[in-house]
Structure 1
């Protein structure tokens, strides 16, 4: 028996036999060229077949994914229809290379370009390039994907899985997924969650250390994979799996209860979302409002900026869906670990301390104005508040409010409906802002503590760097002290205060935060029912802190 640690990206426990998957044709030798004309025909035919397959695949994926994530396949279609890509492959073939070799060469060039990015999201997008290449080459060589033919219960183990690979999976046969590579924003993570398949990624060379038929246990909650467990361990996890399934049903049945402690303290539980379609999950899991709509994710899987109308449709869709419940829309938090190549951002040696959040918005005022107009227009359909991210100075907020007033004046001239008294809040993620929060009392209507970044900046620990993961301590005394200071100022001045981020759904954190006086939390929708249940079992005196809470899906530090 051997235990491995990775990154748990899709919740659950799975037990089964290993099925090792690899792209067999990667090492296949391309045939020698018979004629340039024949190779060009092979490429053209493979291109047409690939487009046809991707259209079919897109229809299948869209049934499982929210709209934004289903755009995964749109990226691949873009490459297939890209004139530059086709021209480069054609030129290579005319130069005497086979169709297979030419496709590999050109796709490798694209892949290397993405891998040079410092942004993990775009590194993960290099899998799109591989996927396109695998598909075209498979069609040239006449090879079918073996994942289509899995006909027994398995734990799928691979070096990596492309979007097409994952979309081919039969949920009833694939019990779990383990991959050597991938990140929190990888397609394996997105699709595994959408399909409800337990998954752990980032195990480096795990696929090289297992054989077909080995037995594996996946414990996603603890990010643990157990290879060839002994009988005692297997029996324990069979029981734990049943407990997990029972708990899942029990928790979902309690999604609409109110979060009130045993001694009568009422707590508001809102949802964090990153795409309009996620509002459905927020409602399904019993959110009392949208505490954080991360708008920067509207910029993902695109090749140009979203227009005012596109943004208005996205924001108003969420506001209408919430039917009068509050919606807090955060202006885009671009920068840090969220870079978008088409924006042409300058490379920074330390992007987390550079042009991100509100700093970026104020340096790109036309983009900022477009977003503010769309948000204000959406406010005509229900209670909307605007939240500014990464605030570090009072002047930033004053300037942003001046711009907002200009936008309001424009909308009045255009005779557009909007809430003229829309509330303005700031995210407290920078220690200097937490320490001087009283300076923001006169210019902000409410505060939202972003614990992921506040912890990172307070402890000087990169939260996405696995090498210093042990130093990232959400309940560090310094972080808790800063939260307490902010809460005291907010309470004294009658300002609404909410807390979002991983700590909002963290077992050990909730009692501490409740005692600090925090009464509004925002978290991943899937965490809401269990957090509500846990709060109902707590007394603030600490005489009854239950052990049965299991942390739900966290936000991955986004």
Structure 2
């Protein structure tokens, strides 16, 4: 049995096919005719973009628009002036196209890898995928093609790139196993959209699993069983049938109200990274957008996005939601996010440095461009402004003062906006947790960012495998923090939501109901299951379980208790 990351749920039983990456080694050399070399690179880039567009078109037809946008995004990145200008400059200096591509793409890849926001770290894998595709065109090599496979194939590959995933014939692939990658990678996202069981980061799987071997892929538990005996195979076959039945049962919750067994209304929302994620959110029955990360606008541009560019993006989402709430987080950038045109100073500890609201308040004119765009978009839907990384009351007051300045300017210009737009905060620091009662007096709503809150509270980096056991929402310190935040907001009469991964945790959701959480915001595929979980509990039952959980001394005790009570 092999253990990995549970990337896409389901049970897949099939025959192994190990996909071998092409040999893209080359001999670096100097070029005398830089014009001809740049033309050679441009030709390879054009062919790459044509093939990628074909993949995007195929995905749009077979999977969905949101997943197709991942491939379309590859074209945008490949043609980004920052990348192409750097490559052309290197070629002008005598470097061959292959080496210029390698050096420039590696620089961008490392830039994205250094960032703490997982959404941006995904771009590193995209850059590597783009490099492979263009390099293959330059060298005349074929990349891995998964479009023609026998039925019930389990694809085993070192790294399943988005471009590989885009070629997969869903009808013939029973499962996916990789040696690298995580649950939030674009490949994992596409695998979930295709509903193919996937387990990622299985060490040495390309050598341990051989062509023709029968394997079971348990995407829910992150387990791969090689050469299972008849008894094991029968057990997994039964499990696969049960999974299919459960999935069908979840469809019964589509279009139903999100409420507890005793009728307490809740909101189940979706987290998105850009406007193109909205169709997928609505397809999965999201009732609102609980977190719209605005950073994509800044990352996808070679210069500061204009007010008009930002307004158009925010308006697109607000209009699509047709009056349902849309919480948009203002720029969450820091010293670790090296957006070149922001000229930010590199810091030794960027997680606790000059980032998010601190950076924005230090650059009020730039911040006001975003705030004006958000205000203008509020004329087209229920847009709410969310401030990231708040640690004190002064920060909220300062942002609200800027919002009022922007309102006055827009009024003078005759532009429409929602006079009563809500300005809330993302509660993701221990300081904000301890100060929740005071912050609730100045913020219009809370949205708890559990991803950072857990890390800051437990002093644990979720990317550090050595201490990964400390990065759990079940630790008593984290639970006490969540209880205080939620109850402080409820007492003050403001909406309290959660936009971290914990909002989709069926074990934790009864506790959140007990304390009064109103909005649960999560990834799209988790929505129906969350609605089902919430419907199975009464407030009294949740209160009883929460009291027992708070009496526990360890994370293990808490988790065992919640697992024993799971429904």
Q: TM class, shorter-chain normalised?
A: 0.7 to 0.9
Alpha-carbon shift at residue 404 of structure 1 (Å)? 1.0
Closer, same or farther: CA 173–416 of 1 in aligned 2, 3 Å: same
Q: Residues 530 and 549 of structure 1 are in contact (CA less than 8 Å); yes or no, is this contact kept in structure 2?
A: no
Distance in 1 between the 2:476 and 2:99 partners? 53
Distance in 1 between the 2:534 and 2:344 partners? 43
Q: Residues 268 and 287 of structure 2 are in contact (CA less than 8 Å); yes or no, is this contact kept in structure 1?
A: yes
Q: Does 1:270 align with 2:272?
A: no
**Secondary structure in structure 2 of the residue aligned to 1:107:** helix
**Secondary structure in structure 2 of the residue aligned to 1:24:** coil
Distance in 1 between the 2:56 and 2:565 partners? 33
Equivalent residue number for residue 342 of structure 2: 343
Closer, same or farther: CA 8–363 of 1 in aligned 2, 3 Å: farther
Distance in 1 between the 2:87 and 2:358 partners? 36
Alpha-carbon shift at residue 412 of structure 1 (Å)? 1.0
TM-score between the two structures when normalised by the length of structure 2: 0.85
Q: Does 1:260 align with 2:259?
A: yes
Equivalent residue number for residue 22 of structure 1: 20
Alpha-carbon shift at residue 394 of structure 1 (Å)? 1.0
Closer, same or farther: CA 391–81 of 1 in aligned 2, 3 Å: closer
Q: Does 1:435 align with 2:434?
A: yes
Equivalent residue number for residue 96 of structure 1: none
TM-score between the two structures when normalised by the length of structure 1: 0.86
- Match 1:72 to one of 65, 69, 74: 74
Q: Residues 335 and 346 of structure 2 are in contact (CA less than 8 Å); yes or no, is this contact kept in structure 1?
A: no
**Secondary structure in structure 1 of the residue aligned to 2:23:** helix
Distance in 2 between the 1:499 and 1:122 partners? 21
Closer, same or farther: CA 523–86 of 1 in aligned 2, 3 Å: same
Q: Does 1:58 align with 2:53?
A: yes
Alpha-carbon shift at residue 395 of structure 1 (Å)? 1.0
Q: Where does 1:25-424 land on structure 2 (aligned, <5 Å)?
A: 25-26=23-24, 44=39, 47-62=42-57, 63=60, 64-66=64-66, 69=70, 70-78=72-80, 82-86=84-88, 88-89=90-91, 92=94, 102-114=96-108, 116-117=110-111, 118-119=114-115, 125-128=123-126, 130-147=128-145, 150-153=148-151, 154-184=153-183, 186-335=185-334, 340-424=339-423
**Secondary structure in structure 1 of the residue aligned to 2:453:** helix
Equivalent residue number for residue 554 of structure 1: none
- More deviation in 143-152 or 426-435? 143-152
**Secondary structure in structure 2 of the residue aligned to 1:22:** coil
Distance in 2 between the 1:159 and 1:505 partners? 29
Distance in 2 between the 1:342 and 1:182 partners? 30
Alpha-carbon shift at residue 79 of structure 1 (Å)? 7.8
Q: Where does 1:388-537 land on structure 2 (aligned, <5 Å)?
A: 388-537=387-536
Q: Residues 273 and 296 of structure 2 are in contact (CA less than 8 Å); yes or no, is this contact kept in structure 1?
A: yes
Residues 249-308 of structure 1: per-residue CA shift (max 9 Å, x gap): 321331211222223333222222222122223323332322222222333444333322
Residues 175-225 of structure 1: per-residue CA shift (max 9 Å, x gap): 332222234554423443444433332234322322212223222222222
Q: Residues 386 and 424 of structure 1 are in contact (CA less than 8 Å); yes or no, is this contact kept in structure 2?
A: yes
Distance in 2 between the 1:264 and 1:46 partners? 62
**How many correspondences in the alignment?**
538
Closer, same or farther: CA 251–87 of 1 in aligned 2, 3 Å: same
Q: Which runs of 5+ in 1 are unaligned?
A: 94-101, 552-558
Distance in 2 between the 1:122 and 1:525 partners? 19
**Secondary structure in structure 2 of the residue aligned to 1:19:** strand
- More deviation in 49-58 or 449-458? 49-58
**Secondary structure in structure 2 of the residue aligned to 1:442:** helix
Distance in 1 between the 2:467 and 2:28 partners? 48
Distance in 1 between the 2:94 and 2:16 partners? 40
- More deviation in 184-193 or 476-485? 184-193
Q: Which runs of 5+ in 2 are unaligned?
A: 546-561
Alpha-carbon shift at residue 44 of structure 1 (Å)? 4.5
Distance in 1 between the 2:396 and 2:471 partners? 29
Distance in 1 between the 2:565 and 2:370 partners? 39
What is the root-mean-square deviation in Å for CA atoms of aligned residues?
3.3
